[in-house]
Chains A and B, each alone.
Chain A
Amino acid sequence: MSRLCASFFSLFLIASCGSDFADDGGNTVDAGNGNDDAGAVGCSLALVASANPAVGQPVEVTASVEGNSFGLQEFTWTIDLGGVIQSITELADPVDRISFTPQEAGPYRVLVEGTVGGDSCTPATLNVGVVATGARVASYRMRVMPAGGAPMQDVSIDVYGGADSVLPVSVLAPGDIATGRILDAGGAGVSAYVRARLRDSTSPADYEAFSNGTGDFSMRLPPGRFDVLVVPQDGSLPAALFSDRAPAEIGTTLSLLAPTTVSGRVLDASGSGLAGARVSLLVDGARSTEATTAANGSFSVLATGSSLTGLAVAPPPSSGMPSLRAEALSGQTVNSASDVVIRFSNPSISATVDISDSVGAPMPGAHAEWRADLPAAGTVNAGSVEAVAGTLRVEATADGSGRVQSSLVARTSSLVVRSTDGSEARIMSDIPWATAPISALSLQTLVTVPVATSVLDTGAGGANVEASPMGLLAPQTAPTRSTTIADGSTSLALIQGGSYRLTVGHPTGGQHAQFLTNVQAGSIGPIALPGTVLAQGQIAIGSPTESGAGAQVRLYCDDCTGADAERVHASAVADETGRFTFRVSDPGVDPT
């Protein structure tokens, strides 16, 4: 998704009243402010403040009259910070220009009321964000999902530390509505999942819709070019990819080509046909239909296109074969005459392990899972041989004597075993089963990990602490959660040797995240939570005059990857004027 930078209308100034904004070329000012009658008078006020407001530096604010400006003009100013009225200096007569000198950082609200020729004008308010001296900056990716009038967009924002802050108004591009139709090769409408993915984007930017039974769909798209993936919902037709399309080219009839039948075989490591495997091919970047292999390993799928760019094979669970996945094959040509041969490599071997608990007693019912990521788990041959990576996951349950066995595991695998009640577990990584198998394994009691949290050197009671399993423990293991008591402490029971992502969230203390690898007994912390600040923002669509009322706003880490990139730091819903406020971790200030 393209990163649409917020429009800056003077630094950190946002308008905050009514539904009408006035843009004088540098500032946002609102009008209305609840005075419904004022609009009929014919004049309204607008405000502009000087840029770069800072503590101890005078900030000039100028009011201008819009509409009927003939007559004696009088202005009344009110400036407050958190309800505390600030003193002002009049700079003109009539007083259409004033200055104030902020003594501390924070969002200052400037209200000007006025009359022209004795008639009241619509007043205006302006929020002036004064940044703390030495404020640190935290950058976020703010995902905005408008209630209407614009597509989802990401906006880069900076939150300053040390005080509540004011974000610039985010003006969203309204984009274009693409209304199209999906038809099959015979001209009939197709019910399908439609995904337009923005090309040349550094962040996810998928715009999705479902076409109905007649193939009609509609989606609002930002400017740009897209790859459009169409996945028919009933599975009887292959997916199709329409590459590099402008919105106008998406809002048209997208005709699916007549699919080609591609046949092949799935063979085990000995060359015998493997029955019951689920096979789908990636042809020209789009999935074929899915087929299950017959007794001799043969299959036939429908595909659109001719270039084999990937495949997925899920062998029957009882086979012990790894799942094969490839997303970037060389593009061998496939057609109705092809015989695509997919063959597993490296025959699996058997494994038997006697599981006991931490005091040596057999552990019947223990759950064992062998896992292995195999760079060369098989090959595909549609004219030339290519290696295919695979993932092995074999699950088994210990019998009444605590014995767990599988006839088919990878030659080098990791093993995770859990007791039935989850109180004991064991992780064994990269065991060379072919040469040094494990025949007996004692589980370990989960280690208790104390966690201490604080906010401003005071225990952060009520903080939510969560340890999300990673690596071998993910994704099957549920997160471990706890809440700190009044002194900010709690403890977590974690699997020894496991990897976790630890997150701490506190209503006023903010958020904290860190990774725990190879967990052992021992305390974590003290974790000093950063505290929180409020950030006020505003969403507009198309221009500052159009409120983004009802927009959903979520804040993500700006430069994170993986799970961190998905973690929501704050969320809010814009009110009828498009304004929103969220509480976010305080980036802090540099020591002077």
Chain B
Amino acid sequence: MVAIVFKPRNMRSMLVGSLMIAAGGCFFTEVVNEAPVAGIRVITNAQYIGETMVFDATKTVDDVKTQLTCEWTAWRCEGDAPQCSSLVDTMLGDIDDRFEVLIEGHERIEVQLRVTDELGATRLQPDLLSIDVQNRAPEVSLQVTGDKEGSTNAYILHRPINLVIDLDGGELGTDADGDEVTYTWTLFPPPNSDVTTRGFEAVGDEGYILTPDVSGAWGVELVAEDQFGGRASVRRDMFVGPDAPPCLQALDPIPDPFGFYLVESSDGPRSFSVLSVLDVLDPFPGPVADDPAIGESTFRWFLKEPGASTFVEIDGYTQESYAVDPLAYEPGDRLELRVEVADRVRGPERELGCADNARTCELVAGSMCYQRQTWGVQIQ
């Protein structure tokens, strides 16, 4: 809301003068040079600290048509005090000159104009411009970053979530008016979260690290307040879920549900390889840069030898690739080579429950995220 008010100055004396003239009948008098009358015109409105008000004067009455001189004065007012005693700025200029007032604080500002003609007649203009400076509330934004599962978009349980005040170029602890801002953080954990097992630690003045201890909907509210009643808040809700199983993404060759790849004796050993694994914390290939938080998937390999009825794990073999040597077999032999992937999460929930003869297996049915793939291999 624009807070500019024009206030009449000396209203009562003006009324008395008019009545006296009306009651006195005819009389002679010398020609008197009347003081000029001018108005204050707002060129550029402003109401916030840091902005500049721009005014000029509009001449309305001057009987002698002489050059006018304008004396501008801006006062800073303490609260509702009737007398504004702190001088902000003053300027002496022509009628066409503009007067600019920079708003530097929250105090009300009054602007007055005195106009004088060349004969010395002067008048403090009756209209006083009063500017109520508005308080800008703090703006607050919250940046949330952390490891998220691509499939669910959920933050990963037990992994840190960084909550940082997004200053967007501003300074921590102040708002656009330059006012001191205090921040209040409020955590809204799921009901089954335990204060002793979750982490919610301040990192300097600008953020927190949340380490969720249970899956579910978590919320964080950040309130920013200045001392002038300005207040802003932001709430960010985060869904936290368990680390999803790793997915065998690309393999070479591509396993076929039924087919058998040919491995010829004349070609020598042939490698069957995992090219990539999708996993937030344990991808494969692993990161090229050192990142202690990021690991790498691990593999287990199994062989179903020709004529065998079950798969047998290749003891201790954990590489991403396994070479089948045709010279270890006879032409015509058919075997099956299986790889299973695991990330850092262990436990019964990660035990593959598929039948031994199932070529593929996924922990989450229908997810198309396979933890087991099998190649059929035919020796020739």
Contacts of A290 in B (CB 8 A): 331-332
The answer to whether B331 touches A312, judged by C-beta atoms less than 8 angstroms apart, is: yes
- Known contacts A327-B266, A474-B325, A552-B250: A193-B316 contact under CB 8 Å: no
* Contact of A204 with B by CB under 8 A: yes
Evaluate contact between B285 and A475: CB separation under 8 angstroms.
Answer: no
Let me know if B285 and A478 touch, CB within 8 A: no
Which of A314, A327, A478, A481 interacts with B332 by CB under 8 Å? A314
CB < 8 Å neighbour of B378 from A231, A327, A479? A231
Complex CA–CA separation, A128 to B253 (angstroms): 35
Inter-subunit contact B262/A193 (CB<8 Å): yes
**In the complex, what residue of chain B is closest to A584 when comparing beta carbons?**
B288
B292-331 contact mask (Cβ, 8 Å, vs A): 1 or 0: 0000000000000000000000111100110101011011
CB of B325 within 8 A of CB of A475, answer: yes
List A residues 536-554 near B (Cβ within 8 Å): 552, 554
Q: Does A242 contact B (CB under 8 A)?
A: no
Question: CB distance A210 to B256 under 8 Å?
Answer: yes
Size range of the chain A interface in the assembly: 35 or more
Interface locus among A87-95, A134-142, A343-351, A560-568: A560-568
- Contact of B330 (CB < 8 Å), options: A229, A278, A327: A278
| 8 A Cβ contacts from B240-267 to A | 250, 252-253, 256, 258-262, 265-267
Residue B73 is within 8 A (CB to CB) of chain A in the complex: no
A563 touches B269 (CB 8 A): yes
Q: Which residue of chain B is the closest to A535 with respect to CB atoms?
A: B288
> Which of A195, A314, A583 meets B288, CB within 8 Å?
A583
What's the Cα separation between A505 and B211 when bound, in Å?
A: 35
Which residue of B is nearest A229, CB measured? B262
Given contacts A231-B262, A323-B330, could you give 16 more A-B pairs where the C-beta distance is less than 8 Å? A191-B259, A193-B260, A193-B261, A193-B262, A208-B261, A210-B256, A280-B332, A314-B330, A327-B265, A475-B325, A481-B316, A554-B275, A566-B269, A571-B320, A582-B285, A582-B288
Tell me if A287 is interfacial: C-beta within 8 Å of chain B: yes
Choose among B252, B259, B315, B332 the residue that contacts A312 (Cβ–Cβ < 8 A). B332
| Residue in B closest to A287 when the chains form the complex, CB atoms | B380
Complex CA distance for A475 and B378, rounded to whole angstroms: 17
Is there contact, CB below 8 Å, between B331 and A573? no
Question: Does B227 interact with chain A (Cβ within 8 Å)?
Answer: no
The distance from the CB of A503 to the nearest CB of chain B, in whole angstroms, is 11
Chain A 283-319 interface mask (CB, 8 Å, partner B; 1/0): 0000100100000000000000000000010100000
Please state if B331 and A325 are interface contacts (CB–CB under 8 Å).
Answer: yes
* B271 beta carbon closer than 8 Å to chain A: yes
In the complex, what's the smallest C-beta–C-beta distance from A189 to chain B, in angstroms? 14
Tell me whether B120 is interfacial, beta carbon within 8 Å. Answer: no
Interchain residue pairs with CB less than 8 A apart (5): A278-B330, A278-B332, A312-B330, A312-B380, A563-B323
A572 at the interface (CB under 8 A from B): yes
A233 lies within 8 A of chain B by Cβ? yes
Assembled-state Cα–Cα distance A583/B287 (Å): 9
Does A391 lie at the interface of the complex (its beta carbon under 8 Å from any beta carbon of B)?
yes
The B-contacting residues of A in range 135-193, CB under 8 angstroms, are 145, 147, 191, 193
Any A CB within 8 A of the CB of B276: yes
Contact of A145 among B252, B271, B325 (CB under 8 A): B252
With an 8 A cutoff between CB atoms, is B268 at the interface?
A: yes
Residues of B near A145 (CB, < 8 A) are 250, 252, 275
Closest to A550 in B: B250
Q: In the bound complex, do residue B260 and residue A391 qualify as a contact, i.e. CB atoms below 8 Å apart?
A: no
Known: A195-B262, A233-B260. A562 touches B325 (CB 8 A): no
Interface residues of A (CB under 8 A from B): 145, 147, 191, 193, 195, 204, 208, 210, 229, 231, 233, 278, 280, 287, 290, 312, 314, 323, 325, 327, 391, 474-476, 478-479, 481, 534, 552, 554, 562-563, 566, 568, 571-573, 581-583
Residues of B within 8 A of A233 (CB): 258-260
Flag B332-366 by CB within 8 Å of A: 1 or 0 each: 10000000000000000000000000000000000
The 10 residue pairs across chains A and B that have the minimum distance between CB atoms: A312-B331, A314-B330, A210-B259, A475-B325, A552-B275, A290-B332, A475-B328, A210-B256, A583-B288, A571-B285
Report how far A479 CA is from B317 CA in the complex, Å: 8
Contact A534 B317 (CB under 8 A): no
Which B residues are CB-close (under 8 A) to A563? Answer: 269, 323
Within 8 A of A (CB), among B159-196: none
CA distance A314 to B265 in the complex (A): 13
CA distance A524 to B285 in the complex (A): 30
Binding site for A on B (CB under 8 A): 250, 252-253, 256, 258-262, 265-269, 271, 273, 275-276, 285, 288, 314-317, 320-321, 323, 325, 327-328, 330-332, 378, 380
For residue A468, which residue of chain B has the nearest CB? Answer: B323
> By the criterion CB–CB under 8 Å, are B260 and A566 in contact?
no
Q: Separation in Å of the A51 CB from the closest CB of chain B?
A: 27
Chain A residues, Cβ within 8 Å of B285: 571-573, 582
Tell me, rounded to whole Å, the shortest Cβ–Cβ distance linking A111 to chain B: 20
Q: Which residue in B259, B323, B331 is a CB contact (below 8 Å) of A314?
A: B331
| Chain A residues, Cβ within 8 Å of B262 | 193, 195, 229, 231
Q: What is the bound-complex CA distance between A573 and B262, given in angstroms?
A: 27
Residue of B nearest to A213 (CB): B258
Distance in angstroms from B158 CB to nearest chain A CB is 25
- Identify which of B268, B288, B380 contacts A581 (C-beta below 8 A): B288
Contact B256 A475 (CB under 8 A): no
| A269 shortest CB reach to chain B, Å | 20
Closest approach, in angstroms, between the C-beta of B58 and any C-beta of chain A? 36
Contacts of B315 in A (CB 8 A): 478
In the bound complex, residues from chain B placing their C-beta under 8 Å from that of A562 are: 268
CB-based nearest B residue for A573: B276
Q: From the candidates A391, A478, A568, name the one contacting B327 in the complex (CB within 8 A).
A: A391
CA distance A391 to B330 in the complex (A): 10
Min C-beta distance of A93 to chain B, whole Å: 31
- Per the bound structure, the CA–CA distance linking A327 and B265 in Å amounts to 9
Asked if B275 and A566 make an inter-chain contact with CB atoms under 8 angstroms apart, the answer reads: no
Please, which residues of chain B bring their CB within 8 A of the CB of A572? 285, 288
Q: What distance in Å separates the Cβ of A154 from its nearest Cβ neighbour in chain B?
A: 13
Whether B269 and A478, one on each chain, are in contact in the complex, defined by CB atoms closer than 8 angstroms, is no
Tell me the complex Cα distance, A61–B380, Å. 56
By a CB distance below 8 angstroms, the chain A residues around B275 are: 145, 552, 554, 571, 573
By a CB distance below 8 angstroms, the chain B residues around A204 are: 267
